[in-house]
């Protein structure tokens, strides 16, 4: 991931945001745009290093991380460490490139950034336990950060998991025969479940 976006001069819109934020920064303790840019350079370097402890050092001990690939949020360093080790084991070449941002809410310790990710599925993807396919993917997403005491206390990561799964070969391509067969299987399973529920309901009456 390159850092040109983070090192680029502030735009007129960003400059206005900084000016507005500076008026309330002393009372809200919201980070300045300069601090945020410096933080994201360190954040970027930590993620590119694939060193778990470097990433965790930029998060609070009680950090809450929500990722679209996981069914529920992860809380605390232990759960986040397990997540990072799993994704880097599955995708050892995973890298992110900032596309725009960081965007700042004036007077609030929150930011957002738009990024592009690239990776190859070279190891087992756990959970749920998919085998490596050797397929490469390129995808876009966004991160939403909340800060406390100079570290990330909440992180929400959003991206198109369906598209990523198709690129990795974990799901059939859109519109193909394999996808139609999968849809047919789902319809059959759904009808079977409805029939079972109907029989159970009649039995209980």
Are 102 and 196 found together in one domain?
no
- Same domain? 33 vs 50: yes
Average pLDDT of adjacent 10-residue blocks, the chain of 205 residues: 53 37 42 90 95 98 96 97 97 95 89 96 89 95 96 96 91 62 57 66 61
In this structure, the answer to whether residues 115 and 22 fall within a common structural domain is yes
pLDDT for the residue 25: 35
The answer to whether 74 touches 88, Cβ cutoff 8 Å, is no
Q: Do 8 and 107 sit in the same domain of this protein?
A: yes
DSSP string, 2-66: --HHHHSPPPHHHHHHHHHHHHHHHHH-PPPHHHHHHHHHHHHHHHHHT-HHHHHTTEEEEEEEE
Are 145 and 199 in the same domain? no
What pLDDT does 58 receive? 98
Considering the domain architecture, whether residues 203 and 137 belong to the same structural domain is answered as no
Query: What residue has token string 């396919």?
Result: 133
Do 167 and 201 lie in one domain? The reply is no
| pLDDT for res 205 | 61
Return the pLDDT at 196: 67
Whether residues 132 and 149 fall in one domain = yes
- The SS3 of residue 175 is coil
The answer to whether 144 and 67 are in contact (CB under 8 A) is no
Asked whether residue 118 falls in the same domain as residue 200, the answer is no
What total of structural domains would you count in the chain? Answer: 2
pLDDT score of 47:
95
Which CATH number covers residue 72?
A: 3.10.450.50
Is 111 found in the same domain as 70? Answer: yes
Segments forming the whole domain that contains residue 195: 172-205
Residues 32 and 98 in one domain: yes
Do residues 181 and 103 both lie within one domain? no
Distance CA 26, CA 31 (A): 10
**Cα(157)–Cα(117) distance, integer angstroms:** 12
Q: What is the pLDDT of residue 178?
A: 54
Supply the pLDDT for residue 99: 96
């Amino acid at each position: 991931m390159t850092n040109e976006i983070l090192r680029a001069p502030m735009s007129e819109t960003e400059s206005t945001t900084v000016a507005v934020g500076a008026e309330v920064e002393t009372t809200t303790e919201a980070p300045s745009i300069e601090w945020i840019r410096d933080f994201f350079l360190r954040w970027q370097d930590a993620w590119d290093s694939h060193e778990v402890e470097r990433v965790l050092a930029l998060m609070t001990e009680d950090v809450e991380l929500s990722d679209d690939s996981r069914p529920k949020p992860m809380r605390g360093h232990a759960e986040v460490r397990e997540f990072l080790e799993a994704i880097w084991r599955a995708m050892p070449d995973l890298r992110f490139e900032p596309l725009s941002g960081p965007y700042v809410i004036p007077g609030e310790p929150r930011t957002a950034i738009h990024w592009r990710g690239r990776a190859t599925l070279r190891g087992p993807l756990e959970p749920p336990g998919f085998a490596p396919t050797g397929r490469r993917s390129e995808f876009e997403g966004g991160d939403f950060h909340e800060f406390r005491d100079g570290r990330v206390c909440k992180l929400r990561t959003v991206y198109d998991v369906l598209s990523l799964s198709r690129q990795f070969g974990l799901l059939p391509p859109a519109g193909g025969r394999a996808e139609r067969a999968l849809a047919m299987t789902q319809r059959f399973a759904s009808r079977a479940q409805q029939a079972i529920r109907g029989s159970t309901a009649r039995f209980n009456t």
